[in-house]
Every structure is written in C-alpha cells, then in structure tokens.
Amino acid sequence: MMHQAGSSVSLSKVESIARVPEEYAHDIPLTMGFGRKVFSVHNHVGHLEPWPFYESEVPVSPADPGPATAEELDHFMKCRGMEKTLIIPNYGIPVQAQPFSHNELVVRLCRQGGGKVAGALWVSGLPQNRELTENALTLLEEPGIAALKMSYLLGGTADPRKWDEATTKLHETIFRAAMEKDIPIHFHTSPGGGSDILGFFEIIKRWGKELKIHLVHMGGGVSGHIRLLSRWSELIEGGYRVYLDTSWAIGFAVRKLLQEVDRTGIGADRIMFGCDEPWSDYESEFWKIQGARISEEIKERIFWGNAQEQYFSKLA
C-alpha cells in the first residue's frame, strides 16, 4: 500500500482513529510512502504493567502498550501499511505468569484477524512454569497459531548442557509439540547471559534438523551477530532448520548477511522482516531492509514472501 505524501488526514482515517482508545489517536497513517507489501513476523500485543526497573524508585513503562483489541491491532497495521503480522505476548517484567496471561489475547486476535493475523503462544522451559506451559500447549489447535515463543530473559539458560533433568524434560515436551505441528519456536537472542547465541548453537546441534528454530534479533548484538554470521552458511547447508528476523539487529550485520545471501542464495528463504513493536520502531526496521543494496527479489522474500510461506499460508 502506497501512502500519499502530504499532511492531511481523510475523513475515513479520522473515523478510524476515533474508534481506537485515546492513547492510540496520535498514531495516524504515515505519509513517507513505503510503497511495498510488508508482513511482520514479530509484533507484541497486550499491555505491560509499569515496573521499577533497574535504579528506578517508581514503576515506569519503558514502551508503549501493545495493541489489546482487534481494532487497535488493525489500526496499528494500517498506520504502517503492514498487511499481515505474527503477534506475540508482550513481556519484560520479572513476573513469570505475566506473558502467559496474554496467550488468550493472542488466540482471540487471531480469530478476529480476518486471515491477516497469526500468533505465537508463550511457553517456558522452567519447571516452575510447567502447568502454565502445559495449558498454553492446549491452545495449539486454535486457528492462526503458527509458532511458540520462548525467552530466557526471565530466567534459565538456552544452553542445554546446563539444564537439569526436569528442565530438559519440559523443553523436550515443548520441542515435541512444535515438531508435531511443524511450527517454529521463536527464541529471543541477546549477547551474554541466558540468551547468548552460543547456547542456541547447542540447541540447534541437538534438535535443529527436526525442530524449526527462529532466532529473533540475529544473535542480538555485535558478538552474537558475528558468531551467527560466521556459521550461517554452515548451518543452512548442514540441514538445520534455522530462521531469523532482523529486528534490533545492528546495521553492519544486516548488510553483511543480506549481501552474502544476495550473492550466494544460501538461506534466502530463511530471513524475514520483524518490527518488534512496541519495543523497536517499524520505520527503522523497515529501512534496514529497504535501504540495503541487494536485489529486489531478495527484498520481496524478506518483506513478505518467506513469512507467507512460513507463517501465513495456512490462515483462513
């Protein structure tokens, strides 16, 4: 959808804005002219309660709320010219049950999405979350559910060499459920700590030829990017079912990967666009791909083609 230049807002747009909560009213359709089909495979939904992060003496909300109704999500997508999206529970505060509480919202928004919304359910490999995870897995048959989401930011580690027996068994339950449905697991990656890319390499080595593994953020920082880039061709040619999105990835890494894929074709079907709103911003994430000096064919694959095949092809 091409947005027209200018600052005026049509009556239909005004009416649309009026149907969403006041906190979203400032978010009007952009006028910069994206001019291409875009599907995002990473967009958070649901409100997140304020929290006294780090040295804060009072609770703060570092990011805007994620959409929490079908109207809000539709408005969000229209304001960016985004035709389809995969939604994920919003998370970020150190409360284990919080992201699980948005799984029903994900299911509801998928049902109301008119074939444009797929969803990822929050699960956890921590034994303390076994019951919550088992309940989440019962929702896998709901329309539009196309992935599972895991993050070690709330505890644990991606390195299976450090899991105890109970942790290993719960991970295997989650992985088996994903393999039976042939859907990916979205893994948050970030440098160091429990989400370090080195731990995910161990998961890939053990399960990655059967399990689809989506590495969010491309390793999540300079060290993670370099390590992933150095092994990308090896992983793809080795038969591992590895995917990634470019959200939050630093410029050098996106350029390097896309230019290499454009040159060799290796992994051209494994890279997808994700905006990671409300934690990142759609505009900068868009231009990392749009501004890359690569072929139009590769851009089309990243902006929508690969996502259609992986996440949206089964939507009603």
The angle formed by the CA atoms of residues 199, 200 and 202, to the nearest 5 degrees, is: 70
Q: Residue 29 burial by CB count (10 A; 0-12/13-18/19+): exposed, middle or buried?
A: middle
Model pLDDT for residues 187-214, shown as the tens digit of each residue: 999 988 999 999 999 999 999 999 999 9
- Please list, residue by residue across 161-183, b when 16 or more beta carbons sit within 10 angstroms of its beta carbon and e when fewer do: eebeeebeebbebbbebbeebeb
Model pLDDT for residues 68-81, shown as the tens digit of each residue: 999 999 999 998 99
**Is residue 210 classed as helix, strand or coil in its secondary structure?**
coil
- Check whether 6 has a pLDDT greater than 80: no
Q: Residue 27: its pLDDT value, please?
A: 61
- Check whether 8 has a pLDDT greater than 70: no
CB 250 within 8 A of CB 221: yes
Q: Residue 25: its pLDDT value, please?
A: 53
What's the mean pLDDT when you consider all of the chain?
Answer: 91
Over residues 143-170, the mean pLDDT reads 97
The overall longest dimension of the chain from CA atoms, in Å, is 61
Q: What is the pTM of this model?
A: 0.90
**Is residue 147 classed as helix, strand or coil in its secondary structure?**
strand
Pick from 77, 91, 53, 98: nearest CA to 279? 91
Pick from 73, 74, 22, 68: nearest CA to 48? 68
Contacts with 144 (C-beta within 8 Å, 6 or more apart), sequence order: 107, 110, 111, 113, 117, 118, 119, 315
CB 191 within 8 A of CB 222: yes
Model pLDDT for residues 98-149, shown as the tens digit of each residue: 999 999 999 999 999 999 999 999 999 999 999 999 999 999 999 999 999 9
- Check whether 264 has a pLDDT greater than 60: yes
Beta-strand ranges (E) seen in the chain are: 39-45, 84-89, 117-122, 145-150, 185-188, 213-216, 242-245, 271-272
**Residue recorded with tokens 């409300």:** 278
Q: Residue 22: its pLDDT value, please?
A: 59
Pick from 275, 280, 277: nearest CA to 290? 275
- Check whether 289 has a pLDDT greater than 80: yes
Model pLDDT for residues 10-62, shown as the tens digit of each residue: 333 334 434 555 555 556 655 445 679 999 999 999 999 999 999 999 999 99
CA 312 to chain centroid:
14
